[in-house]
């Protein structure tokens, strides 16, 4: 490194706000990439509908958590700036300025593109005013028998205070007139969530204009329109003058004081009840036709400002479009993917098929023998979760030589076979420990349910550490083998959830290496008892060692370059936010390290800045599966190291969560991970490249190039062995 380059490293203030993107705007850019899948004509029609719904669902959570937190800061008169130099007020203004045209783009795409394309395939979502008399009669009868009994109109006047409006509820603001007094009155009618959002006609009433039922697959009307055209039944003797749709979003974050709670499970249950019925309003969505006087009335009743109101030129609550993605039209959907059983697990599956339904005690040794022979790696959803990870836990539950099972559960499915296996293991007399994270946002209720079932079955259930979420994905199985007691380990990047394992890309490592087994033993002791563990043999553990070790490895690459060697980093994760890590990456780039980052969501690092980050490239892959795996590659001057695990490079992951990242040391597996990273870096179908100004440009095949989709190639590779 030259003297000039060394001086440049030391003179630049890498904490300067100009070197960082705002976290919230970066997330909005991510969600815009999700929306692009709905806009992209190369995406199949029902998949475009699905991405439209995902965009809305993502946005709901953004307002419930991130915007709500900013609003709380504004109300508390917080003026402290974020690392990109934004105050809470500036962030709020920038969010709405960015978001309004994007939401308009989403709604317009659905109203004027997707709906029309659905029509070509016999799917008609129509307005009530376009129905014929026979169809209206059917809906009137449907309303009387199915909808009317559920509805509760709520008046607003001096004797009826402004009603509580629940989170994410769709409502009608109704103006009625008393014919005796001439007084104009306001009422609110909630559209019930217990009924389907779209009311479909029976086959004999599928008619639109001149088209009859023989040509149509589905004809339906939004539920709120059915209610709106039958409002007279709710206000007998009154004149219904007008109605307008609106939808409310509330703050849905929990405020549990863990250090003051005598019983964490009880405290979270109480907060969940509050979430249903409390939470400050943060966003009001209204139809663009709503007059200003009604808007003003709603804003006053909900204590909202104009900045919180979003006018929609179409259907509200497009997340409900998930209900329209299940039509039997395979040509409009991605080909169904069935995960394969990878070798050597496929041999084990053959043995299972040869057995009776009752599990044979001779099967289990074969499974554990595979792991003793060599470290094994699985890649979901390309590899079957049920035949690998789930089977590992199930076999452990039934193997008479297994003495103990310990695992962490962050999110799992409602009918989880993992939970069933743990209960069976406890019933079989094994020592079973499950660390259930009660604070997994929006899964708290589900996790409380499973925690109680596990406890009832005799499983030792631990709720984690005060002040920390346990986000790590680990299983430890202690088995009495013929030669000695041995610890078998699974360390992954994703949750132990059979349902999301079909949708999220995640990687898992099976091993019985002594050092990793000892590390997991120490980690579980840290989680379940009183431990001040400060070092681990192989694992990088947050909040104990992970940040320091990661920064040290980044600095090591920089030092190799300064000493005339080669520096190279490739890191794949969900989000990059932590300032200390970003600073280290900037210093490494200044030293000449070539850095490729594959970051699905938030990225606060600004690439391509001369003298700071010109050696850093950032891409994001958005496609059929949710990229969820975390992989970290360091060239180390030829002595390559590669890691997988549960943590992103975010402050919350490195400081406020328990996370684990493991080295992958089997040469064959290291090569597979390196090839996987290379495949993603060459994607020209679903990848987007982050620009210095914060925008993303989608990569396209150059002239003469073949379109290269990472997800499709990996499916083909898995299918072909």
- Residues marked as catalytic: 471
The residue written with tokens 């631990």 in the block is 462
| Tokens of residue 667, six digits | 């040469």
Q: What is the 3-state secondary structure (H, E, C) of 341-403?
A: CCCCHHHHHHHHHCCCCCCCCCHHHHHHHHHHHCCEEEEECCECCCCCHHHHHHHHHHCCCEE
To the nearest 10 degrees (0 to 180), the angle between helices 667-681 and 710-719 is 140
Helices (H), 76-217: 88-109, 115-119, 133-142
CA 721 to chain CA centroid, nearest Å? 30
10 burial via Cβ count (<10 Å: 0-12, 13-18, 19+): exposed
C-alpha distances in Å from residue 373, one per residue of 365, 370, 511, 634, 666: 12, 5, 9, 27, 12
* Distance in angstroms (rounded) separating the CA atoms of residues 645 and 492: 6
* Distance in angstroms (rounded) separating the CA atoms of residues 38 and 309: 24
Q: What angle do CA 202, 205, 206 make, to 5 degrees?
A: 85
| Tokens of residue 493, six digits | 């990047």
Helices (H), 442-596: 444-456, 514-528, 546-562, 579-591
| Tokens of residue 549, six digits | 């070790």
Q: How many CB atoms lie within 10 A of CB 385?
A: 25
C-alpha distances in Å from residue 284, one per residue of 96, 167, 249, 565: 12, 10, 7, 57
Q: What angle do CA 375, 377, 381 make, to 5 degrees?
A: 165
* Distance in angstroms (rounded) separating the CA atoms of residues 585 and 594: 10
* Distance in angstroms (rounded) separating the CA atoms of residues 605 and 14: 11
* Distance in angstroms (rounded) separating the CA atoms of residues 570 and 579: 18
Buried residues in 625-657 as b, exposed as e (16+ CB within 10 A): bbbbbbbbbbbbbeeeebbbbbbbbbbbbbeeb
* Distance in angstroms (rounded) separating the CA atoms of residues 377 and 375: 7
Q: Are 499 and 451 in contact (CB under 8 A)?
A: no
Greatest CA separation for the chain: 93
- Which pairing describes strands 485-492 and 616-621: parallel, antiparallel, or unpaired? unpaired
C-alpha closest to that of 383 among 630, 717, 674, 633: 717
Q: What angle do CA 435, 439, 440 make, to 5 degrees?
A: 85
C-alpha closest to that of 472 among 382, 550, 387, 539: 539
* Distance in angstroms (rounded) separating the CA atoms of residues 388 and 349: 9
């Amino acid at each position: 490194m030259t003297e000039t380059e060394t001086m440049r490293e030391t003179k630049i203030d890498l904490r300067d706000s100009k070197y960082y993107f705002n976290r919230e705007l970066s997330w909005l850019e991510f969600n815009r990439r999700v929306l692009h899948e709905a806009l992209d004509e190369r995406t199949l029609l029902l998949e475009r509908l699905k991405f439209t719904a995902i965009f809305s669902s993502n946005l709901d959570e953004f307002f419930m958590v991130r915007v709500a937190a900013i609003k709380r800061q504004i109300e508390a008169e917080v003026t402290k700036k974020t690392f990109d130099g934004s105050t809470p007020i500036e962030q709020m203004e920038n969010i709405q300025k960015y978001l309004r045209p994007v939401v308009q783009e989403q709604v317009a795409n659905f109203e004027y593109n997707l709906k029309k394309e659905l029509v070509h395939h016999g799917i008609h979502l129509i307005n009530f005013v376009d129905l014929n008399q026979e169809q209206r009669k059917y809906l009137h009868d449907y309303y009387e028998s199915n909808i009317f009994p559920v509805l509760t109109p709520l008046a607003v006047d001096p004797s009826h205070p402004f009603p509580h409006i629940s989170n994410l509820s769709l409502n009608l603001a109704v103006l009625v007139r008393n014919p005796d007094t001439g007084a104009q009155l306001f009422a609110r009618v909630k559209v019930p969530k217990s009924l389907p959002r779209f009311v479909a006609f029976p086959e004999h009433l599928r008619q639109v204009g001149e088209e009859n039922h023989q040509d149509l697959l589905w004809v339906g009307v939004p539920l709120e329109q059915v209610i709106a055209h039958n409002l007279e039944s709710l206000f007998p003797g009154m004149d219904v003058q007008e109605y307008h749709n609106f939808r409310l979003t509330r703050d849905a974050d929990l405020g549990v004081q863990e250090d003051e709670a005598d019983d964490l499970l009880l405290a979270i249950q109480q907060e969940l009840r509050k979430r249903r019925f409390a939470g400050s309003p943060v966003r009001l969505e209204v139809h663009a036709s709503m007059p200003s006087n009604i808007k003003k009335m709603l804003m006053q009743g909900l204590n909202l400002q104009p900045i919180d109101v979003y006018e929609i030129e179409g259907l509200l609550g497009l997340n409900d479009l998930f209900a329209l993605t299940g039509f039997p039209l395979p040509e409009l959907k991605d080909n169904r993917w069935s995960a394969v059983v990878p070798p050597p697990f496929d041999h084990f599956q053959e043995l299972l098929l040869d057995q009776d339904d009752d599990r044979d005690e001779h099967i289990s040794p074969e499974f554990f023998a595979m792991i003793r022979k060599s470290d094994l790696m699985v890649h979901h959803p390309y590899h079957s979760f049920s035949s690998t990870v789930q089977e590992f836990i199930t076999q452990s539950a039934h193997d008479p030589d297994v003495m103990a099972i310990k695992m962490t559960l962050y999110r799992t499915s409602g009918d989880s076979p993992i939970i069933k296996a743990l209960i069976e293991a406890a019933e079989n007399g094994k020592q079973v420990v499950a660390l259930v994270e009660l604070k997994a946002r929006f899964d708290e209720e589900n996790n409380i349910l499973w925690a109680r079932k596990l406890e009832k079955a005799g499983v030792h259930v631990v709720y984690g550490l005060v002040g920390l979420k346990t986000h790590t994905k680990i299983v430890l199985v202690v088995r009495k083998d013929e030669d000695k007691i041995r610890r078998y380990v699974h360390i992954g990047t994703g949750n132990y959830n059979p349902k999301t394992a079909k949708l999220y890309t995640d990687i898992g490592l099976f091993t019985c290496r002594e050092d990793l087994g000892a590390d997991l033993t120490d980690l579980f002791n840290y989680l379940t008892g009183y431990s001040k563990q400060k070092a681990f043999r192989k694992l990088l553990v947050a909040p104990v060692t992970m940040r320091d070790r990661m920064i040290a490895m980044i600095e090591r690459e920089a030092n190799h370059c300064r000493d005339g060697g080669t520096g190279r980093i490739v890191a794949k994760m969900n989000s990059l936010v932590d300032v200390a890590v970003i600073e280290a990456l900037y210093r490494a780039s200044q030293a000449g390290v070539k850095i490729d980052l594959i970051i699905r969501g938030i990225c606060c690092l600004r690439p391509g800045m001369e003298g700071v980050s010109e050696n850093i490239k950032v891409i994001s892959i958005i496609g059929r599966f949710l990229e969820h795996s975390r992989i970290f590659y360091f060239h180390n001057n030829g002595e390559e190291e590669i890691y997988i695990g549960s943590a992103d490079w975010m402050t919350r992951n490195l400081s406020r969560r328990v996370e684990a990242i493991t080295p992958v040391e089997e040469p064959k597996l290291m090569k597979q991970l390196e090839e996987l990273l290379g495949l993603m870096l060459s994607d020209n179908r679903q990848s987007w490249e982050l620009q210095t100004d914060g925008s993303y440009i989608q990569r396209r095949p150059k002239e003469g190039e073949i379109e290269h989709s990472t997800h499709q190639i990996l499916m083909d590779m898995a299918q072909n062995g």
